[in-house]
Structure 1
Amino acid sequence: MEALTAETLGGTWGTVLLPVRDDESIDRARLEAELDVLVAMGLDGLYAHGTAGEFHTLGEDEYDRVNALLAERCERHGLPYQIGAGHMSAQICLSRAARAREFRPGAIQVTLPDWLPLSRDAVVRFLARVAAEADPVPLVLYNPPHAKTQVPAALYPVIRREVPAVVGIKVAGGDARWYAEMRRHTTGLAVFVAGHDLATGRRHGAAGSYSNIAALSPAGAMAWQRMMLARPDAALDVERRIHAFFAEHVRPLQHDGYANAALDKFLAHLGGWADIGTRVRWPYDSVDAALAVRLRPVVRAHLPELFPGA
């Protein structure tokens, strides 16, 4: 597909979640069915191998098979897609980027190496070498709050100047002061924020989200995005209710030690739009699927805008 730029990278992107069997293998039939649903939902694009895609648990053969399946489905339907090449090891990340490049996705997402923190110079060196390996496919840097190396806003102009292949960043978002600082330092970069904060983010100039709300309800995430344009105040009210629902039903799970991948699979099972299940790979804990089933009528009553046609 055509390479994405800072100007064309935006909107609500859905993640590929891995249906995992009891023996830890990926259920290909259920994965194919999930992709068939996702490509029909009108999302701005799909991506594989983010945190929710459990990239940190994949063998390299599994990584390649998921890439091939994603590329085939998206190319067939003319849907933009990105491939994550992140890994705790810089060397494995480099290898993944080289193999992902062969599919010519719109962009390749990367994380910074995650055993020891990097200096600012090392961040730039790392991105420059990955960019050379991925060329001509551009890069998106994923720098979540739990990353060992937190990229300060003031480093982004250096990254953009020294590694022009970096066209976007995925970060958590923040308050009005945070957005003001990011606007000063991220010229030439598409800034993506958390899905549940997208209405606020767009008001402050965010380009889009790799969206946990799309994990909950792909069609609903797009309906909400349209609302942000047509009725921004109503969209902010939906965001307020999303936060209230998360505070009551999702944050306690996070406090109990469930990892983000488990929470995103819980959201997908709560939304009930595909047969993915809540199982995550060993050694992480999986949320009880029965809890999601019990909460389905609650989330639909609390957030009907996210379940159009329900």
Structure 2
Amino acid sequence: MTPLTADQVRGVWGTLLLPIEDDDSIAWGRLVDQVDTLVASGVDGVYAHGTAGEFHAIDEDEFDRVNEVLATRCEAAGLPFQLGGSHPATPVMLGRIRRAAAVEPGAIQVILPDWVPLNDDEVVRFVAGAAAAAGPVPLVLYNPPHAKTPVSPALLARVAAEVPQLIGVKMAGGDDAWYTAMAELAVDLSVFVPGHLLATGFARGAHGSYSNVAALSPSGAVDWQRLMTTDPGEAADVERRIGELFRRHIAPLQASGLSNPALDKFLATVGGWADVGLRLRWPASSAPAEAVQPARADAHRLLPELFPA
């Protein structure tokens, strides 16, 4: 696939979630079916090995097989795809980046080394090294709120200037001051923010989302993003109602100690668009099955726009 440029990384991207069997193996047939559903949903692209994809809980053979599944299906459909090259151990991460690059995705997502915080020079040095490992494939920096090293707009601008292969970022967003700084400093990057806050982010200059709303309803997330351009007021109201759904059903699960991968699989099960299942890889806890139906009822009541007939 042709490497993506920053202005091509836009819109709603769906994440690949790992269907896990009772014996902790990956259900490969269900994974293929999930990719096919995502490809047909209208999303702007699909990616693998983000937090929701449990990149930290798979071995290297499984990593390579997921890459093959996603690349084969997306290339056949002509749909852009990205691969995460992340791993808690930096040498393993560089190996993943090299092997992901050999599959020729549109971009590779990377995290910063995460055991100890990095200083600014170390951040630049790492991204430059990741870019060298990726060769001609561009990078997207994934800097979630729980990262040991938060990247400010000013540092991001320095990294982008010194490593032109960086084309985008995946971040939690921020307040008005953050969006203003990003618009002034990160002018050449694609900026993606959380799916459930995309209407707010889009209005402030964000370009899209690696979307947890697409985990709930891929086609509905696409329709909502289009609404942001045709009726921003209505799109903002949808965001408000997504927030209500999350307050009712996601926040309590999060407060109970469930991880983001568990919450994303819960959303997918509530949405019912693919046979993902609730189970996470050992030793992680999964969302309770009895929570699904009440959340599903509220999702359809609060957000009919996300569930077209």
Measure, in 2, the Cα distance between the counterparts of 1:239 and 1:230.
15
After superposition, where does 1:197-212 map in structure 2 within 5 Å? 197-212=197-212
Alignment of 1:143 with 2:154, yes or no, is no
AA matched with 1:184 = E
How far 1:284 moved relative to its partner? 1.1
Which residue of structure 2 lines up, in the alignment, with residue 250 of structure 1?
Answer: 250
The worse-fitting range, judged by mean Cα deviation, of 157-166 and 134-143 is 157-166
How far 1:249 moved relative to its partner? 1.0
AA matched with 2:245 = F
How far 1:210 moved relative to its partner? 0.1
Unaligned runs of 5+ in 2: none
AA matched with 2:133 = E
1:167-214 residue CA offsets vs partner (Å, 9 max, x unmatched):
000000122222112212211111000000101111111010000000
Which residue of structure 2 lines up, in the alignment, with residue 68 of structure 1?
Answer: 68
1:239-297 residue CA offsets vs partner (Å, 9 max, x unmatched):
01111110111011111100000000000000000111010111111001231133212
How far 1:155 moved relative to its partner? 0.6
Name the SS for the 1:7 alignment partner.
Answer: helix
Which residue of structure 1 lines up, in the alignment, with residue 184 of structure 2?
Answer: 184
Unaligned runs of 5+ in 1: none
- How many pairs align? 309
AA matched with 1:275 = D
Identity rate of aligned residues, in percent? 57
Measure, in 2, the Cα distance between the counterparts of 1:80 and 1:126.
26
AA matched with 1:27 = A
Measure, in 2, the Cα distance between the counterparts of 1:35 and 1:184.
37
Contact 1:11–1:44, Cα closer than 8 Å, also in 2: yes
Measure, in 1, the Cα distance between the counterparts of 2:111 and 2:26.
23
Which residue of structure 2 lines up, in the alignment, with residue 237 of structure 1?
Answer: 237
How far 1:6 moved relative to its partner? 1.2
After superposition, where does 1:22-41 map in structure 2 within 5 Å? 22-41=22-41
Which residue of structure 2 lines up, in the alignment, with residue 161 of structure 1?
Answer: 161
Measure, in 2, the Cα distance between the counterparts of 1:178 and 1:159.
17
Alignment of 1:116 with 2:116, yes or no, is yes
After superposition, where does 1:211-230 map in structure 2 within 5 Å? 211-230=211-230
How far 1:166 moved relative to its partner? 0.4
Measure, in 2, the Cα distance between the counterparts of 1:265 and 1:195.
15
